Chain A
Amino acid sequence: MARIERQKRIIDFTLSSLLRRKGKNLALIAAYSWIVFLLASVLFITEAIRREAGLVLQDAPEIIVQRLVAGRQESIPVAYGEKIKTITGVRSVKGRLWGYYYDPTNGANYTLVVEEDRLKEAGRVIIGEGVARNVVGESYGTMPFVGYDGAYYFFEVAETLPADSSLVAADLIIVSATDFRALFGIAESLVTDIVVEVRNPREFETIAAKIKAMLPDTRPVLRDEILRTYDTLFDWRGGLIVIILLGSLMAFIIFAWDKATGLSAEEKREIGILKALGWETADVLMIKFWEGATVSLLAFFNGVLLAYAHVFLTESSLFEPVLKGWSVLYPRFALTPYINAYQLWALFFLTVVPYTVATIIPSWRAAIIDPDSVMRT
C-alpha cells in the first residue's frame, strides 16, 4: 500500500509540474497525438483494404490469359481459347468481354463488363452504386453512350447494384455482349481476355507455363498474383505512404531529440531543488518516467482512438482528397475493421517506449550532478 501511495504522490507532483508548463505540454500532446493518429490511420486503412481484398478476391478467376502486342494488352482471338482447351488439366475456358468507357459529360471512367447469365437482353444495363450517384441520366432511367463510330446508344438502367458492393463494383456497368461489341466495334472472333479454370489447383503454374509455351504472345495472370497485388498495396516503401511516414518519423525524432539533448534551465533548477531537499536520484528519475509516460500514453490513446473513428466511422474523411485523386467515381470507403493487438503493440513500442526512454536519459544526467552546481547554472 505504501508503495502505491508513494507512486501516487509522485504522479501528483509530476502532473503539477506538467501543468506549470501547460501551454508547452498541451502543444506537445497535440502534436504527438497527431503523429500517432496519422500512423494509426494508415495502419488501419491499409490492413482493412488488404484483408477485404484477400477475402473478396478469393473467388477471382484462377488464370486469366491476356494477349500482349508491342507490350500492351490487346483483344485476344477466341481461337486461342480453343487451343488452351486442349491442354491436359484445363477444366474450362471462357472469354471475357470488358473495357473502359470515358463519359465526356461528367469526366468519369466506367468499367463495362459483360455477364451474359445476368443480362442477356440488349439495350439494358445494370449499374454500380458509384455510377448511380454520379450519372444524371440515371434518374431518367436511361444512360447515353457514344460508340466507336460516333453513333449514340441509349441503354435502359435495369438495376442498380447494392451500395455495399461499392468496394468491388462502384464504377461497374454490366452490359450485354451484343451491346458491348456494338459500342466498341469488337469482332465476334475477339474477346478482351480468357479465363481458364484448372482441375487441380496445384497445377496453376504448370498450366500457365504451358499456355505461355503454346501461345508466346500471351501473358497468363494467376489468382495468387492478383491476391499478392493487394498484399503489397500501399507498400510503405513506395509513394505517398513513405512521405507520410517519413514526415511523422521526422517530427517524432525532433521531439525525442529535443528531450534527449537536454532539459530547460527551469527543469534543471527543479531537479536541483528536489535533490537539495533530499530527494533521491531514483525519485527524480521516477518523476521523469511518469512525465514521459503520461504525455506519451495520452497521445497514444488519443491518436489511436481518433484514428479508429476516422477510418471506420467517418470513412477516412481526412484522407478523402488523397484517396479520390482525380477519380470522378470513387467507392465509399466503408471498410470492415480488421484490427489486432499486434498492430497496436507495434505502434505502442514505436511511439510510447522511445519517448519515455528519451525523457529519462537527460534527467538522469541532471540528477547525478551536484545539486548546488545545478541550481547555480
Chain B
Amino acid sequence: MRTRKSHLLLVYLTLNLIAFCGMFVQAAHQRSASQAVLQRNRTLVRQLGLTDLCLFTDARYTRHPAMADLHTPFQDYPMSFEHFPSGSLMPPPPHLRSHGAH
C-alpha cells in the first residue's frame, strides 16, 4: 500500500512534538544536574564578594556593568565614542539610567 502524504506529515509533526517534549525533559535534567555547580558558584560569589558575571572581558564597563559609572565607556576622552563590540550588547545598568548615582 502506498504511504499517504498526510500520514508522512503527521508522523513528521509527531516526531517533532516528541523532540519538543524531549527538549523540556533534557532541560529539566540538565537543570537538576547543574544544581551543584550553581551552588559552588554561589559560594564563590559570596566568598570573593563578586558582583558580576564574567560575560565580556574586553571593556571594564561590560566586565563589571553593575560597578560601572557613566564615564567608563568614554574613558579615553569626553567625546570618544564607545567602541567595544560588547558595549552594543549590554546597556547601562538601570541604576545609572534612572537617577544617575545615588
Q: Which residues of A are in contact with B by a Cβ distance under 8 Å?
A: 8-9, 11-12, 15-16, 19, 49, 52-53, 55-61, 64, 66, 68, 71-73, 94, 96, 100, 108-109, 111, 113, 115, 117-118, 128, 130, 161-162, 164-172, 174, 193, 195, 208-209, 212, 219-222, 225-226, 228-235, 237-241, 294, 297-298, 301, 304-305, 308, 312, 322-323, 325-331, 336-339
> CB distance B5 to A109 under 8 Å?
no
> CB distance A339 to B23 under 8 Å?
yes
> CB distance B31 to A64 under 8 Å?
no
Q: Which residues of B are in contact with A by a Cβ distance under 8 Å?
A: 4-9, 12-13, 16-17, 19-20, 23-24, 26-27, 30-31, 34, 37-38, 40-58, 60, 63-67, 69-72, 84-91, 93-95, 101-102
Assess A230 versus B54: contact at CB under 8 Å? Given A15-B9, A162-B40, A165-B41: no
Sample of 7 A–B contacts (CB below 8 Å) = A11-B6, A72-B71, A72-B72, A111-B57, A221-B102, A301-B19, A338-B31
> CB distance A328 to B45 under 8 Å?
no
> CB distance A11 to B5 under 8 Å?
yes
Residues of A within 8 A of B13 (CB): 297, 301
Assess A168 versus B41: contact at CB under 8 Å? Given A71-B71, A208-B102: yes
> CB distance A225 to B66 under 8 Å?
yes
Residues of B within 8 A of A326 (CB): 58, 84-86
Assess A339 versus B54: contact at CB under 8 Å? Given A11-B9, A234-B90, A239-B89: no
CA distance A258 to B70 in the complex (A): 45
> CB distance A167 to B54 under 8 Å?
yes
> CB distance A241 to B89 under 8 Å?
yes
How far is the CB of B70 from the nearest CB of chain A, in Å? 7
> CB distance A15 to B54 under 8 Å?
no
> CB distance B34 to A118 under 8 Å?
no
> CB distance A239 to B9 under 8 Å?
no
Residues of A within 8 A of B60 (CB): 100, 109
> CB distance B47 to A111 under 8 Å?
no
> CB distance A219 to B86 under 8 Å?
no
- Of A61, A111, A164, A239, which is within 8 A of B49 by CB? A61
Residues of B within 8 A of A170 (CB): 54, 57
Residue on A nearest B74 in the bound complex, by CB = A71
Residues of A within 8 A of B23 (CB): 304-305, 308, 339
Interface centre among A73, A128, A325, A339 (most CB of B within 10 A): A325
> CB distance B84 to A325 under 8 Å?
yes
CA distance A57 to B45 in the complex (A): 7
CA distance A66 to B63 in the complex (A): 17
- Of B47, B64, B65, which is within 8 A of A117 by CB? B47
CA distance A304 to B20 in the complex (A): 9
How far is the CB of A354 from the nearest CB of chain B, in Å? 20
CA distance A165 to B5 in the complex (A): 50
CA distance A325 to B43 in the complex (A): 29
